[in-house]
């Protein structure tokens, strides 16, 4: 039977550390980190995320600025706001909540954010730095997954690691982070032939495919560490992950629940990135 990896507790620990460092930053340097969050339109899930980010800012002692733009905002208007925030010395981190309405090219918006304030680490410059292992920020979800794996005490070096999913936000950077820690990494996706034969080899399995209960018990090696990044809503309204928890939990050594696993870590790592950005912009090394 697997031990549950408690994302709520681990994220609370990360946020508490950020809160302490923020307090020290205010006392020693008179600086308070500030995060600007931009939301375009009325997507209900996006509104929940934005509200959670504001609450987290309050908890750790950051200033937060919200820019709620109407659904019919043009790309030019959004680019103009991003440019203004780039130039604003009172803003340390900029986050444009995705998805944006269809008239806006999200890639153009991401590229417009200053790499120094790109606390999501989506800008091509930051992505490139992650590739070569010389990064300032890590994408929030993969960084959170690494914290969860580290909490188990399981050594990544030399382990067979399998990532299911190849998105730019989770799958690809996740594979890079495991590789930087000397894991032997395989990335699987919708065209992978005989996926179960590969996942059964994994000492560490990260599921980020976006399909409810996709990973079944017969796909998992006995004693594997299983991290479920998925967040899917079933027809009955319940949340579930990409991993069939009931089948996989008896075989795994450690497993993340959904909800309460990876989800809370994403916002905690966003707070950590914003603190890092503030220190870098102010040339503070302590």
Average pLDDT along the chain, 286 residues, taken 10 residues at a time? 96 98 97 98 91 97 98 98 98 96 97 98 96 94 98 98 96 98 97 97 97 97 98 89 97 97 96 98 91
Give 120's contacts (C-beta < 8 A, 6+ positions apart): 95, 110, 137, 139, 140, 270, 273
Q: Give the residue from 273, 269, 241 showing the smallest Cα distance to 257.
A: 241
157-182 exposure pattern, b = at least 16 Cβ within 10 A, e = fewer: eebbbbbbbbeebbbbbbbbbbebbe
pLDDT reported for residue 233: 87
Q: Which residue of the set 97, 117, 136, 203 is catalytic?
A: 97
Q: Give the residue from 188, 134, 130, 178 showing the smallest Cα distance to 157.
A: 178
Q: Which residue of the set 117, 118, 120, 221 is catalytic?
A: 120
Before 259, cis peptide (omega within 30)?
yes
pLDDT reported for residue 237: 84
Q: Which residue of the set 53, 136, 159, 272 is catalytic?
A: 53
pLDDT reported for residue 162: 98
CA angle 238–243–249, rounded 5-degree value: 105
| 178's tokens | 């495991």
pLDDT reported for residue 211: 95
pLDDT reported for residue 1: 87
Instruction: Please indicate whether residue 97 is annotated as part of the active site.
Output: yes
| Alpha carbon distance 276, 159 (integer Å) | 30
**Hey, how many other C-beta atoms are within 10 angstroms of the C-beta on 134?**
8
Helix (H), strand (E) at residue 184:
strand 184-188
Q: Give the residue from 69, 99, 63, 83 showing the smallest Cα distance to 274.
A: 63
pLDDT reported for residue 255: 98
The tens digit of pLDDT for each residue in 215-239 reads 999 999 999 999 999 999 888 888 8
Q: What are the structural domains of the chain?
A: 32-114 (3.40.50.10860), 140-263 (3.40.50.720)
DSSP helix/strand/coil, 96: strand
pTM of the model: 0.95
Which DSSP state fits 242? S
Which DSSP state fits 222? T
Kindly list the distances between the CA atom of residue 231 and the CA atoms of 92, 140, 160, 259, 264, in Å, as whole numbers in the listed order: 29, 15, 25, 8, 12
- Whose tokens are 């992950």? That residue is 241
What is the biggest distance separating any 2 CA atoms in the chain, rounded to whole angstroms? 57
pLDDT reported for residue 286: 75
| 30's tokens | 């008179």
């Amino acid at each position: 039977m697997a031990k549950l990896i408690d994302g709520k507790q681990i994220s609370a620990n990360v946020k508490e550390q950020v809160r302490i460092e923020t307090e020290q930053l205010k006392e020693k340097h008179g600086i308070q980190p500030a995060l600007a969050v931009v939301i375009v339109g009325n997507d209900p899930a996006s509104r929940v995320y934005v509200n959670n980010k504001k609450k987290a800012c309050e908890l750790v002692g950051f200033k937060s600025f919200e820019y709620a733009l109407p659904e019919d905002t043009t790309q030019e208007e959004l680019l103009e706001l991003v440019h203004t925030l780039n130039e604003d010395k009172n803003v340390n981190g900029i986050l444009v909540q995705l998805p944006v309405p269809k008239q806006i090219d999200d890639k153009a918006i991401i590229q417009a954010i200053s790499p120094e304030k790109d606390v999501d680490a989506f800008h091509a410059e930051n992505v490139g730095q992650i590739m070569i292992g010389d990064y300032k920020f890590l994408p929030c979800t993969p960084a959170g997954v690494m914290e969860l794996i580290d909490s188990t005490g399981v050594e990544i070096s030399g382990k067979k690691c399998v990532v299911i999913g190849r998105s730019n936000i989770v799958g690809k950077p996740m594979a890079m982070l495991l590789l930087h820690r000397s894991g032997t990494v395989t990335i699987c996706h919708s065209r992978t032939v005989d996926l179960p034969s590969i996942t059964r080899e994994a000492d560490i399995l990260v599921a980020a495919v976006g399909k409810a209960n996709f990973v079944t018990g017969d796909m998992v090696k006995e004693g594997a560490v299983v991290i479920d990044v998925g967040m899917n809503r079933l027809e009955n309204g319940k949340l579930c992950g990409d991993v069939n928890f009931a089948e996989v939990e008896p075989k795994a050594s450690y497993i993340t629940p959904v909800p309460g696993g990876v989800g809370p870590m994403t916002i905690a790592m966003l707070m950590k990135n914003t603190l890092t950005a503030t220190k870098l912009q102010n040339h503070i090394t302590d």
